């Protein structure tokens, strides 16, 4: 049984990579994109196993041979994992020194495998020097080298880099697939699996981690509470929160993602309330299409109250501004300014 089975969802991406191998047509560079915890690095690592597995072609990656096992543990001499360093200011960065070291490693012949593979995660974190140095490797790759990059979004990379890679865009997984995988593979109790699958926003890796580490849900609760503080606060409070958050820049994309999901839920509910008949009877199930599913199911009551109080255009504006802030942060805008601007656009919640 092939180790491709460890990848849940993303069937077309697995097909594409497996077929490339079967026909001996693997590209020399791939860019795997998608939100955090969606399975980008797992896909890259599994492809690295398939490239160097010693089982017969149709069973690669077997997950059992020496190469497969060393790659799974990130200890194979021919498969290098390059990850951003976290700076003292909390910002993840890939630096030119890391690229030089990588280039040196790639210029040597493979020790044990057929291919030398470099997995470069979160390549959006490469600074300009590192990206330009890497471009040289990409333009003239040594023989039998396969470069696997991951990033949130191809747009955040230099166009000259993105255009030299085959792009594989991973999409969020359906909620029911996540729920089912949590119960069958990770033996999470059904009720917990349901809530986690809703909260996951299509990111299976997040749901699995959250089922094993309760601090993840606590962190999420704290982030949503912080948003409530901002909404209830005056300008001084808001700037104070902006200041605090800007000191933890590496967490900000995740913070804004949880806020985005909250605003999206609010918009879904506001629009549902606007179109629903104004009578307090249970809606007949066959008269309307199924409502869009909420992410923050555990906050439904509070969300419904606000959805009734605020207008849809206001909510939509906040959703769009949050999305814009996330986009700006990914492009290295000044963290504190981005947050201050965002908070000025948020509506004020009555105390």
Among 14, 31, 68, 339, which residue sits at the site for Zn ion (rule: CB under 5 A)?
Answer: 68
> ∠ at Cα 61 (57, 63), nearest 5°?
135
Cβ count near 196 (within 10 Å): 24
Q: How far is the CB of 307 from Zn ion (least distance, A)?
A: 52
Q: Would you say 62 or 157 has its CB closer to Zn ion?
A: 62
User: Which range of residues in 20-28, 54-62, 137-145, 284-292 is near Zn ion by CB under 5 A?
Assistant: 54-62
Contacts of 275 (CB under 8 A, 6+ apart): none
Q: Would you say 55 or 227 has its CB closer to Zn ion?
A: 55
Burial 85-103 (b: 16+ CB within 10 A, else e): eeeeeebbbbbbebbeebe
Q: Would you say 3 or 122 has its CB closer to Zn ion?
A: 3
Q: Would you say 72 or 316 has its CB closer to Zn ion?
A: 72
Q: How far is the CB of 49 from Zn ion (least distance, A)?
A: 6
Burial class (CB in 10 A: 0-12, 13-18, 19+), 12: exposed
Q: Would you say 62 or 338 has its CB closer to Zn ion?
A: 62
Among 20, 21, 65, 216, which residue sits at the site for Zn ion (rule: CB under 5 A)?
Answer: 65
Contacts of 347 (CB under 8 A, 6+ apart): 231, 310, 314, 318
Determine if 62 is a binding residue for Zn ion (CB under 5 A): yes
- CA-to-CA dists, residue 152 to 31, 33, 174, 236, 268, angstroms: 10, 5, 19, 33, 25
236 vs 265: CA distance, rounded Å? 27
Q: How far is the CB of 67 from Zn ion (least distance, A)?
A: 6
User: Which range of residues in 55-63, 81-89, 139-147, 281-289 is near Zn ion by CB under 5 A?
Assistant: 55-63
Q: How far is the CB of 50 from Zn ion (least distance, A)?
A: 8
DSSP-assigned beta bridge partners for residue 94? 126
Q: How far is the CB of 147 from Zn ion (least distance, A)?
A: 21
Q: Would you say 39 or 113 has its CB closer to Zn ion?
A: 113
Q: How far is the CB of 4 from Zn ion (least distance, A)?
A: 11
For the chain, give the number of residues.
Answer: 351
The residues of the shown chain that bind Zn ion, judged by CB under 5 A, are: 53, 55, 62, 65, 68
């Amino acid at each position: 049984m092939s180790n491709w089975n460890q990848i849940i969802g993303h069937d077309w991406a697995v097909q594409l990579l497996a077929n490339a191998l079967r026909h001996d047509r693997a590209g020399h560079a791939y860019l795997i994109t998608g939100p955090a915890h969606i399975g980008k690095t797992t896909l890259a690592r599994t492809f690295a196993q398939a490239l160097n597995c010693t089982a017969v072609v149709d069973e690669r990656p077997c997950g059992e041979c020496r190469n497969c096992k060393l790659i799974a543990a990130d200890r194979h001499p021919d498969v290098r994992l390059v990850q951003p360093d976290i700076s003292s200011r909390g910002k993840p960065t890939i630096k030119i020194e890391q690229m030089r070291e990588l280039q040196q490693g790639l210029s040597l012949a493979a020790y044990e495998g057929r291919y030398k593979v470099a997995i470069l995660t979160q390549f959006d974190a490469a600074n300009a020097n590192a990206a330009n140095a890497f471009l040289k490797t990409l333009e003239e790759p040594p023989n039998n080298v396969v470069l696997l990059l991951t990033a949130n979004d191809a747009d955040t990379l230099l166009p000259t880099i993105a255009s030299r890679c085959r792009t594989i865009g991973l999409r969020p997984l359906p909620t029911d697939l996540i729920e089912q995988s949590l119960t069958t593979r990770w033996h999470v109790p059904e009720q917990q699996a349901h809530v986690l699958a809703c909260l996951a926003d299509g990111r299976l890796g997040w749901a699995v981690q959250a089922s094993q580490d309760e601090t993840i849900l606590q962190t999420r609760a704290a982030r949503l509470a912080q948003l409530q503080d901002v909404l209830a606060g005056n300008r001084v409070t808001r700037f104070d929160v902006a200041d605090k958050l800007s000191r933890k820049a590496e967490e900000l994309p995740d913070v804004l993602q949880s806020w985005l999901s909250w605003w999206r839920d609010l918009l879904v509910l506001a629009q549902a309330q606007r179109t629903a008949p104004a009578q307090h009877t249970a809606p007949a199930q066959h008269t309307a299409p199924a409502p869009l599913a909420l992410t923050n199911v555990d906050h439904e009551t509070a969300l419904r109250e606000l959805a009734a109080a605020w207008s849809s255009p206001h909510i939509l504006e906040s959703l769009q501004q949050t999305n814009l802030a996330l986009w700006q942060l990914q492009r290295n805008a000044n963290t504190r300014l981005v947050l201050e601007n965002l908070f000025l656009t948020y509506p004020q919640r009555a105390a």
